[in-house]
Structure 1
């Protein structure tokens, strides 16, 4: 047992008990870099293992940032594990390659790779919890960085004591000064990461310059105050989230292509709930929320609550926001043209069946009067759309394709031709759906924009003797 600074030991015990971080009989994977924070955490958990009835396993990852220094750290952790008789997993990962491939910051790439490593080792070793050495000063730094970057309430809440029910932070209420004093008093060895002194990283600059200045000029207790604010922000965010989750289900519809929002319902909400819904939607789309800052959120809210349609906003993680009339969209940006030119036109079997992209087309030739056809024509549903045209007014083979630049046609009942783009705008067709609407065409031009309108020249009339009946099905809704 430790001889001095027992208040650190007692503080950690109390904090772990408060948040029920571990249960009797569990195995805890401890992330150990070799630095003072993680080594002190390891020693504390090692001293607590009988009291808490837990087993320990050490995990150390070489991020391949610091060459020989990183190898030194791994060797130190290996010797420490042997000294304490704790099983240990040490691996190496090429994080610089991840940075290049995924265009991430060094910190984000390292964090993602490290936590994937922790998850993998935890599964392999049947560990129930993953313990990391985040402490009170880390929490204070995170709050300050959140204010600088303009993050939302969740971001200002900083580091959570327990994340996803399995990641625990036992030192979160313990200050850096207490950790240093504890290590010195107990003669605990550790290694020093030279990159921690580099001010090119924002967190280092906040730790080395901003926090000491605030402590000196304003209050020595600034860390305690900021950690208390973090807890308040976390509690407020939790309460707002409970409300936002219910409304998210009503406002948002998730699909493989992105998220659609009912803007009429969205606009009725308080701006606090609007923000919470957008953060949740961004997280559902990207897996993270911390990269969406308050400036982004304000811009999206302005877009979604104004009356302008057709505008787009670029957002982090290669995503974008747009609106089309009363529908808002959050989607991944792509480099593809919005027009589906890559899908080649297909000649329709007349009569017969034809597959095209995600639809199945059935055609048959009927010899009946136009009025008789209209009387028995099926109503369009979500699964099938039916349309009749004058078969003898068609010119050449009938094809199906997607929209092309410059498309024009003569909408039924109108006085002349119209650009398809203008037709879609007038009909309030959502912008992100226009490129997936099939067009039936012949050698004279557009015959039918599926689900919307036929061309005047192929309309049914009293002179029609043969009707081409076309039915369009979604493939997944069709049985064969």
Structure 2
């Protein structure tokens, strides 16, 4: 009966495709042990290839015993096993996060990286209806929009799937007892210092006793309706995102005019797609972050908007760009004496090479000069006070004024790369090339500068 129920949800929400390589997040607790058992029993039906990831949070002294327990389960079933350990308390302290938030962030980062490295089509997690109810109440307490009322999605970014989302903890326990399964108990699940545990052990039982004993079933009905609506909105958002995205160097950007025309409900979904694409930790995003992004788009607020994980969003001429926080470097000047690769303070490399002008180029993050004009040696350096560029017909213009006219945000101007030849500026990275150094039709050879 339980197996058939799970199959129904797998097929209704199209959670697996035949032949999928599936990574299971297995802690060793009741829910994840049952998930492992169920998908092991169903793997022939969907031709699944199963793999297991266990994350040791280093919170409990006996955490290694959990890992050993999961390893033995995998060995019995001949399932490949990934073991990862990291101190969640240390990470939480460093990033100023709660233990729960820190653990979740580290786990999801690990799973996404494993999926990318080993070509997993799905990541299966054991969240169930009780978890869904707890998540909804947590978001209501902290403040949420309609997206939050959906709680935990049954499917996320076509990668994460939750086959148990609409079955209760009691149904899972009943199946485990029928199958004589063993599991590990985590005493931190009863620690009332955590908000989730307060909701689980105090709030929900109180509501069931004094208001409605079927509150979880009612949440399930509402969540199912919202989940279907969310899936439709998400598809619209993905389509719009593909239409308005582009890249400046390696930074993901959105076309501002088109973004403004999109209803705010879709804009917010597009922000979340961006967060996922660039690696911004979604769990740390708050309403305040979304409101700040809206102000950046609609109200011409200069910004930048600082986002979790060391990222920021800023407004340029006709676009919004999402990038990792820019740190100012001390003055530097690198003498370029020959072709090859040179290290920049940004931890990137600058590649210098020559090619014939006739060769077609489509190189990202590069600049091209006439090799007949730009000869060795030349200098790549940081801008400095008093820098001027040649600007016909007025003669010269201060670089500071040029960057202001180009609407380069002040916090990005400090690290602009300058190309200097024979004591004059002949290039400003991706913004300016001295007229004499530009590639023309009769130019035979070009010199390429590319950041890699």
- 1:302-381 matches, cutoff 5 A: 302-309=295-302, 311-337=303-329, 341-344=331-334
2:104 aligned partner = 108
Q: 2:242 aligns with which of 244, 249, 267?
A: 249
Return the offset for 1:138.
Answer: 1.1
TM-score (norm 1): 0.67
1:404 aligns with 2:384: yes
1:272 aligned partner = 265
Q: 1:87 aligns with which of 44, 54, 78?
A: 78
Structure 1 residues 217, 405: CA separation in 2 closer, same or farther (over 3 Å shift)? farther
Structure 1 residues 437, 190: CA separation in 2 closer, same or farther (over 3 Å shift)? closer
Structure 1 residues 49, 137: CA separation in 2 closer, same or farther (over 3 Å shift)? same
Return the offset for 1:111.
Answer: 2.0
Structure 1 residues 243, 39: CA separation in 2 closer, same or farther (over 3 Å shift)? closer
Secondary structure in 2 aligned to 1:344? strand
Q: Distance in 1 between matches of 2:368 and 2:67?
A: 63
Whether the 8 Å contact between 1:62 and 1:92 is mirrored in structure 2 is: yes
Whether the 8 Å contact between 1:402 and 1:435 is mirrored in structure 2 is: yes
- Once the two structures are superposed, what CA deviation does each residue of 1:12-35 show, in whole Å capped at 9, x if it has no partner? 343344345567898977655342
Whether the 8 Å contact between 1:28 and 1:57 is mirrored in structure 2 is: yes
Secondary structure in 1 aligned to 2:212? coil
- Once the two structures are superposed, what CA deviation does each residue of 1:447-474 show, in whole Å capped at 9, x if it has no partner? 66656598xxxxxxxxxxxxx9433667
- 1:153-168 matches, cutoff 5 A: 156-162=149-155, 168=161
Q: 2:418 aligns with which of 415, 433, 438?
A: 438
Whether the 8 Å contact between 2:369 and 2:448 is mirrored in structure 1 is: no
Return the offset for 1:328.
Answer: 1.8
- Once the two structures are superposed, what CA deviation does each residue of 1:20-69 show, in whole Å capped at 9, x if it has no partner? 556789897765534232344455567x5599487896847361525553
Give the structure with higher Rg (CA): 1
Secondary structure in 1 aligned to 2:166? coil
Structure 1 residues 58, 474: CA separation in 2 closer, same or farther (over 3 Å shift)? closer
Structure 1 residues 179, 405: CA separation in 2 closer, same or farther (over 3 Å shift)? same
2:360 aligned partner = none
Secondary structure in 1 aligned to 2:332? coil
TM-score (norm 2): 0.70
1:475 aligns with 2:442: no
2:32 aligned partner = 38
Q: Distance in 1 between matches of 2:118 and 2:244?
A: 37
Unaligned runs of 5+ in 1: 1-5, 363-381, 390-396, 455-467
Unaligned runs of 5+ in 2: 343-349, 356-365, 440-445
| RMSD, aligned α-carbons | 4.8
Structure 1 residues 256, 211: CA separation in 2 closer, same or farther (over 3 Å shift)? farther
Secondary structure in 1 aligned to 2:185? coil
Return the offset for 1:313.
Answer: 1.6
